[in-house]
Amino acid sequence: MTKHIGILTAGGDSPGLNAAIRGVGKAAQSYYDMQMIGFMDGFRGLVDNRTTRLDGGVLSGILTQGGIILGTSRDKPHRMVFAGKKQDMTDVIVENYAANHLDALVCLGGGGTQKNALQLMEKGLNIITLPKTIDNDVGKTDTTFGFDTALGIATEGIDRLHSTAHSHHRIIVVEIMGHRAGWLALGAGIAGGADVILLPEIPYDIESVAEAIRARVRSGKNFSIVAVSAPVLGIAEPRP
């Protein structure tokens, strides 16, 4: 009997997702004779039962395609907005899982998606998760999808700012994403040659940062690059 698996992407967009979808699909179809369907726009598509067939013809053209062919959303199954109010749609997801004859559901996402997937597992569904986030902050995971690309872009940004900072004798603060994790700022700061790197995991004193920059000026270096790991909603706050 042919087995069926579903796949969706949830949370923020990230590099490498189409390649991951292709990898799952190729393995499922070529090695295990499974059929795979995609749910559009994350968990909301799973609730709405909006699907697309992911056969070999579709998968063969997405390896180098940017974006996410399935779309994404930040909807949570247990707190999804319908008719202007938040509702628990978990039971609807269970029904659609059965209606599509799924043997398993693959969820690509970051920390929030992993938590949502766990709740679906607790409802008795077979769930597989793949860690996706540029922040690289999924526990027990060496590297998440999207982190390497984001690290390269952040490194290039810091590297390019050196010439501007040097020419104008400026202190340039580079705010780098990472949510509550400093992996991006740390890697990009080291690779890009930042003079100061501030991470949420390590307390710092703003006066010590200022003194380090003043010391550079006294030694004849009249510019500095400061890499700051910043939460999505604002720059990292100094800690006492």
DSSP 89: -
Please tell me the distance from the alpha carbon of residue 63 to that of residue 60, in angstroms, as a whole number.
Answer: 7
135 as an active site residue: the answer is yes
Complete domains list, the chain, with CATH: 3-131 (3.40.50.450), 147-229 (3.40.50.460)
Cross-strand bridge partners of residue 127: 105
Of the candidates 89, 145, 92, 101, the one whose C-alpha atom is nearest the C-alpha of residue 126 is: 101
Please tell me the distance from the alpha carbon of residue 38 to that of residue 49, in angstroms, as a whole number.
Answer: 10
Of residues 75, 135, 137, 195, which has the active-site annotation?
135
Tens digits of pLDDT across the chain (240 residues): 789 999 999 998 888 899 999 999 999 999 999 999 999 999 999 999 999 999 888 898 888 888 889 999 999 999 998 888 999 999 999 999 999 999 999 999 999 999 999 999 999 999 999 999 999 999 889 999 899 999 999 999 999 999 999 999 999 999 999 888 999 999 999 999 999 999 998 888 889 999 999 999 999 999 999 999 976 334 445 444
Please tell me the distance from the alpha carbon of residue 181 to that of residue 135, in angstroms, as a whole number.
Answer: 6
How many other C-beta atoms can be found within 10 angstroms of the C-beta atom of residue 53?
A: 10
**Model pTM?**
0.85
H helix runs in the chain, sequence order: 17-32, 42-48, 56-59, 90-99, 111-122, 147-168, 183-192, 206-218
